[in-house]
Structure formats: structure tokens, C-alpha cells
Amino acid sequence: MKVTNQQRVNIDEHINQEKYLIFGYTPTCGTCKVSERMLDIANEILKLPITKIDLNFHPDFSQEHEIQSVPVLMLMSKGEEQKRIYAFQSVPNLLENLK
């Protein structure tokens, strides 16, 4: 599959931020849709910058960061990964993990 620049997002848009999130998903993943909704609810409280990426269009990112499965949420700080979450258990659990 040929990936065009219109399909890719700028993963580094928040790289200078002290705390930001990268949410990786694929559009055909049902769990990703539920997890994204939980993340949106949690982030209404936290107000963290977030980049959502369709990993189908970012195979280089997936390989570089050794993404095991989707959905994946990466808590970042100035370009460095601080924490990685694969299992989105609940909104309160997400809030606790992202504080």
C-alpha cells in the first residue's frame, strides 16, 4: 500500500510539551473505538495534548516503537516515552495511569 502525506499526521506536533499523549489505532478495530471514547472522556478532565494516529499509515512508527497491538496509548514527555498502555480497563483507571 502506498501511503500519501495526506494520510499521515505529524506525530511530533507536541514534542516540546512536558506531557502529551499518542493514541495508536486502526479503523477496523472495535476495541480501538471503545478505548478512544474512554480516552476522550478521561482527557476532558486532564486536557492533555493528544495525537491520534492510524497505525496503518505509520508502519515506520509502529516498527520503531515496537507496537505490539492496538489500541496503544503512549504517555510522552518531550519526545520520550514515559508509559505505554494497551489495556484500557476503565475511565478511572486511565485517569490514574495518566496523572
Which pLDDT band, with edges at 50, 70 and 90, does 2 fall under?
very low
Q: End-to-end CA distance of the chain: give it in Å, rounded.
A: 38
Give me the DSSP letters along the chain. Answer: -PPPGGG---TTTTTTSSSEEEEEE-TT-HHHHHHHHHHHHHHHHH---EEEEEGGG-HHHHHHTT--SSSEEEEEETTEEEEEE-----HHHHHHHH-
User: Could you tell me if 56 and 91 are in contact, meaning their C-beta atoms sit under 8 angstroms apart?
Assistant: no
pLDDT tens-digit series, residues 18-52 = 999 999 999 999 999 999 999 999 999 999 999 99
More reliable by pLDDT, 1 or 45:
45
What pLDDT, on the 0 to 100 scale, is given for residue 19? Answer: 96
To the nearest whole percent, how much of the chain has pLDDT over 90?
82
pLDDT band per the 50, 70, 90 thresholds, residue 9? confident
Provide the mean pLDDT of the chain. 91
Q: How many CB atoms lie within 10 A of CB 27?
A: 9
Query: Domains of the chain (ranges plus CATH)?
Result: 20-98 (3.40.30.10)
**In the predicted structure, residue 1 carries a pLDDT above the cut 60:** no
